[in-house]
Structure 1
Amino acid sequence: MDRIHHILTNTRTGRLSLWLACLALLAGCTVGPDFSPPRTDVPKAWAGPGAMPATQPAGGAQALGRWWKAFNDPLLASLVERAIESNLDLRIAQARIRQARASRGVAASGLGPSVSASGAYNRGQSGSGSPVTSHYQAGFDAGWEIDIFGGVRRGVEAADAQVQAAVEDRRNVQVTLAAETARLYVQLRSLQQRLAIARRNLELQQHSAELTRQRFEGGFVSGLDVANAQAQVATTSSQVPLLESSARQTLYAIELLLDRTPGSLAQELAAPADIPYAPPAVPLGVPADLLRRRPDIRSAEAGIHAATANIGVAVADLFPRATINASLGWQADSLSSLLNPASRFWSFGPAVTWNAFQSGRVLSNIEVQKALEEQSILAYRQTVLTAIQEVENALVASVKEQEHRKALTDAVAANRRAVELAGQLYAQGNTDFLNVLSAQQGLLNSEDALAQSTAAISTDLIALYKALGGGWEETVPPGGQK
């Protein structure tokens, strides 16, 4: 044992070994706070008139991941999946993941040594009478900053968290994209149905106007009835181009989400179809599930992690930095003698730098990072509360819209009967034309409102799926396209 101690303490190699061993032990130290997931109080159950039991229909998370299939509309499912495949915002988010991963690689490169090679050739003269000389030099330089206090490791930790945040941001774009594509599709089908309603009622009103004209020519009614009938026809006709314009603009919006030029999907979506409907059996779970499910919440948590790690990066600047530098090279006056042993030079040794006279700047930077961490924690809390509110809003909207639709269904049935009776009485001369106009306008309004309510039920359900964080699956590699 004494012999080993003598070797380690009385030889150059031994002293170097001890020095490196001490650095290795110190390198296990990491300054700054360690990240711990934020603790946020959330309700144990959903509140409000839209609250339902925490049901978990067959499929659970998978049902949320591909919720659009619940509508049993193949074209809707195809549009959503094509949007996920080709949407530009999603591809931008994917590029940001690559950027974050590359930045992580830059941060991690500081954990290892750096090696560079150099070469130089100079030819010159020191005075007018002196000979012209040449000088050749070639060599390698290496340096390694020993991460004694963990500043580099904290930087890598922050970069890892930023990669995770980028992954979650991409998922959040996908959640929004799926919901927006489905919402626009429902809106398009609703507009097409409202167009059909307007045109159908227009035909009915044109028939009534023709009947009124004939009765006027027969002297049974006044010209006022004819004018009123023509005004109603013109009013209903004026709605048609507005609905056509809205339908065309909605089509363009869908095409934009799919990275398609305007009009490229016109033929595919031209034929009217029913407004898609899905049963309201949604895997709600409990509010705490949002913390694990919603990508924006997961991204906000990763943001806290990155901010916490950056505090450690700033704290590490308070302490000295140790580096080991080495160089090996050759220099000679001629190229032929450059590689001779006599031309070789080398150096090796440690170096220490310390921002001892910049502590004010370093301490201020630490406070900056702490403030950023606090902002991240508050933003996380805000994101959680917003998520809970969005679910509650979607739940109550869904329940109340169903009540609204039921009342409108009854109104449409009553208005159809009123139109039929008013037409019969008017043909018999037992009522004036204002009752016919009122009944026809009531039917148009109630049918149009019913179509909008039917669409609203579907869009409220889409909003609920989005609020729950539906639209992505854990099995899909976060770094790749589906």
Structure 2
Amino acid sequence: MSRSASPPLSACAWPRRALGLAAALALTACASVTPLPARPPADTSPVPAQWSAASGSAQPTALAQWWQRFDDPQLTALVAQALQANTSVKSAQAALRQARAQRDAQAAANGPSISASASAQRSQNGNADGSNRFQTGFDARWEPDLFGGNRATLDAAEAGARAAQTGLADVQVSLAAEVAVAYIELRGLQARLDIASRNLATQQETLQITRWRAQAGLASSLDLEQAIAATEQTRAQIPALQTSVAQSLNALAVLTGQVPGALQATLGRTGAIPAAPADLALAFPAETLRQRPDVRSAEHQVSAALARVSAADAARYPSFQLSGSLGLSALTLGTLTDGASVLRSVLASVSVPLFDGGALRAQVQAQQAALDQARAAHEAAVLGALQDVEDALAALRGDREKLVRQQAAADAATNAELLARQRYQSGLIDFRTVLDTQRSRLSTQDSVASTQATLSADHVRLYKALGGGWTPADTTAATRH
């Protein structure tokens, strides 16, 4: 007894069978995939409840544009110019555009692709008549992301774009602080130069008085030589300060994207050292860490590394591809549009890694090691941020106390120098006392100017350590475009 033959499969039945087989394999393999966490684990670094200089219950000061707290229009203009024209900012902006383009390219690669083609062929064999063939059509291809590998690669690209965005913010924060410190240093040097010039004028008056007294026999030649030596020592300080002022002007010009010497006309004259108000209220440490762009960038790098682990793990399982084509093929252009010239094809394929010598598993281990590195870098960024704030607070406290003492010393030295000159002119004291009081006055006044600049720079470093200079909400919104 013979069995009837099975009916032949139609052309459309093969794709359905292939798709069914691919789905069955997918469901079988899915059961063995180990799911990975979608977000990086919470940071385990110890974060203190408050800073060493607690600000009480006051609302933290807004620091998005902290340089305006110095109330110095020239400083504000310099920071704005630097944020627009500095080469480091331009490079970070280009890196952000690159990261976003890579993210968009990966997103496009995850979807189906369609291409069009056309060809014309003329062939001839020996003495036979030549023949023509004309073809045109469309090809489509799509790889279903059954195990999330493509999605994980896109997540890594998205995290990379966010890291580039916060990297740009970190450059802007650092640049604003660098410009402010350079400007404060310039004003401090100009103040010290002015102090040296004023003390030189006083010493020249004393030198002239000493000459008159020596000519009248009321002072010795030793007093005259000591007066000359003290005057020349002070005069020798002026060229060094002038050199430092010129170098500071050049540094500021380069930071703002200009050629050296471009700021001589606007900043060449002596200006007051900018001082920040003392009413700064600090946010809690945890809030500061969320504000810091470098900490956020490190967190995004952890997310990117975690996504790459998922992508490497998904590569160990079967991959599927659907493709098809629809076209026309004919011997003449006139018959190209006939229904008989239509070509159709559908293909479903599956690729299963069977033996690779452990290469795919090693790739997963490599990405896991990269994830561990990213987590360590994030922890280092957190600890570094905490140290930056505490160091800035310690420096601020110490320099405030130092400035009070130095200001009192400078006032006393000024009074002592005035009294010594008056008594020397009356012949009541020797010239050595005058020299000592003049040196003390110059030294204490110079120290006051230096500490004032240092104290203002301490504020800048604290603003930077607190993550001031950018707005996280605006940055997060910008990454979606």
TM-score relative to the length of structure 2: 0.90
Tell me whether 1:456 sits opposite 2:454 in the alignment: yes
Tell me whether 1:36 sits opposite 2:40 in the alignment: yes
Partner of 1:195: 193
The CA distance in 1 between the partners of 2:111 and 2:161, in whole Å, is 21
Higher mean displacement: 323-332 or 460-469: 323-332
Contact 1:54-1:286 at 8 Å conserved across structures: no
Contact 1:318-1:355 at 8 Å conserved across structures: yes
Higher mean displacement: 322-331 or 258-267: 258-267
Partner of 1:380: 378
Structure 1 residue 477, shift from structure 2 partner: 4.8
Matches within 5 A, 1:49-198: 51-54=53-56, 56-57=58-59, 60=60, 63-127=62-126, 129-198=127-196
Structure 1 residue 69, shift from structure 2 partner: 1.8
Tell me whether 1:45 sits opposite 2:43 in the alignment: no
Partner of 1:4: none
Amino acid at match of 1:100: A
Contact 1:315-1:366 at 8 Å conserved across structures: yes
Contact 1:115-1:143 at 8 Å conserved across structures: yes
Contact 2:166-2:475 at 8 Å conserved across structures: no
Matches within 5 A, 1:291-306: 291-306=289-304
The CA distance in 1 between the partners of 2:430 and 2:28, in whole Å, is 99
The CA distance in 1 between the partners of 2:137 and 2:309, in whole Å, is 39
Structure 1 residue 421, shift from structure 2 partner: 2.0
- Flag structure 2 segments of 5+ consecutive residues without an equivalent: 1-11
Contact 1:64-1:283 at 8 Å conserved across structures: no
Change (3 A) 1:429 1:27: farther
Task: Give 2:434's match in structure 1, choosing from 429, 433, 436.
Answer: 436
Higher mean displacement: 215-224 or 93-102: 215-224
Partner of 2:228: 230
Amino acid at match of 1:46: W
Change (3 A) 1:56 1:174: farther
RMSD: 2.4
Contact 2:49-2:285 at 8 Å conserved across structures: yes
Structure 1 residue 81, shift from structure 2 partner: 2.3
Aligned-residue identity in percent: 39
Change (3 A) 1:137 1:26: farther
Structure 1 residue 274, shift from structure 2 partner: 1.4
Contact 1:189-1:273 at 8 Å conserved across structures: yes
Contact 1:152-1:313 at 8 Å conserved across structures: yes
Matches within 5 A, 1:275-290: 275-290=273-288
Contact 2:18-2:348 at 8 Å conserved across structures: no
Amino acid at match of 2:40: S
The CA distance in 2 between the partners of 1:342 and 1:120, in whole Å, is 18
The CA distance in 2 between the partners of 1:272 and 1:294, in whole Å, is 35
Partner of 1:420: 418
The CA distance in 1 between the partners of 2:161 and 2:185, in whole Å, is 36
Contact 1:32-1:313 at 8 Å conserved across structures: no
Alpha-carbon displacement from aligned partner over 1:384-413 (angstroms, at most 9, x marks no partner): 111100100000100010111111011101
> Match of 1:121, SS?
strand
Alpha-carbon displacement from aligned partner over 1:82-138 (angstroms, at most 9, x marks no partner): 3223322222212222111111111112321111122222323333x2333333222
Aligned residues: 463
Structure 1 residue 261, shift from structure 2 partner: 2.0
> Match of 1:65, SS?
coil
TM-score relative to the length of structure 1: 0.90
Contact 2:40-2:306 at 8 Å conserved across structures: no
Contact 1:141-1:326 at 8 Å conserved across structures: yes
